[in-house]
Amino acid sequence: MADDKEREELVVAEYHRKIKEAFEVFDHEANNTVDVREIGTIIRSLGCCPSEGELHDLIAEVEEEEPTGYIRYEKFLPVMTEVLLERRYRPIPEDTLLRAFEVLDSSKRGFLTREELIKYMTEEGEPFSQEEMEEMLSAAVDPESNSIHYKDYIAMMVVDES
């Protein structure tokens, strides 16, 4: 039992250092705070994939009572450690992602047109901002056919991440 406890402490200690590293990179003024608009990026860079709604809730947990626009490290660390320990917001597996594209591609052509993707991403679910949409299109659209061959796209992104 003592060994397990020790092991858990080690795991927590490593998580703490990982979180600290990720936080510090965005702490421009080196005063243990980051802009609240970068919290999503930090959390996701640690391997978690919360939805926008879940992110919203997380931010509410780490914000000051009177929101200042900044998140302090002291508040962020315990919340983020819990998230990592509980393995919350696990990333989407590749085949789930592929199936999602296939659902949208109702006629099973193997691709989505630019307009279709835009429509789904900006009107459904948790809509993309214009910037997000443009960013996704720039990498996903095959310039010759002007469509998104999602199977190739996913394969490319997966390689890039590893």
Q: Identify which of residues 31 and 145 has a Cβ nearer to another protein in the complex.
A: 31
Interacting residue with another protein among 12, 13, 85, 155 (CB under 8 A): 13
Q: Candidates 3, 4, 92, 95: give the one binding another protein (CB under 8 A).
A: 92
Mark the segment that binds another protein (CB under 8 A) among 57-65, 71-79, 80-88, 117-125. Answer: 117-125
- Regarding 96 and contact with another protein (CB under 8 A), the answer is yes
Q: Which of 7, 28, 56, 109 binds another protein (CB under 8 A)?
A: 28
CA distances from 12 to 40, 58, 82 (A): 21, 20, 9
CA distances from 115 to 79, 121, 126 (A): 40, 10, 18
Residue from 62, 63, 84, 101 in contact with another protein (CB under 8 A): 101
Q: Per residue, what are the HEC states of 97-109?
A: HHHHHHHHCCCCC
Amino acid letter for position 14: E
Structural tokens at position 9? 């402490």
Burial 105-121 (b: 16+ CB within 10 A, else e): beeeeebbeeeebbebb
Residues that bind another protein (CB under 8 A): 13-14, 17-18, 21-22, 24-26, 28-31, 33, 40-45, 48-52, 91-92, 96-97, 99-101, 103-104, 120-121, 124-128, 132, 135-136, 138-139, 157, 160-161
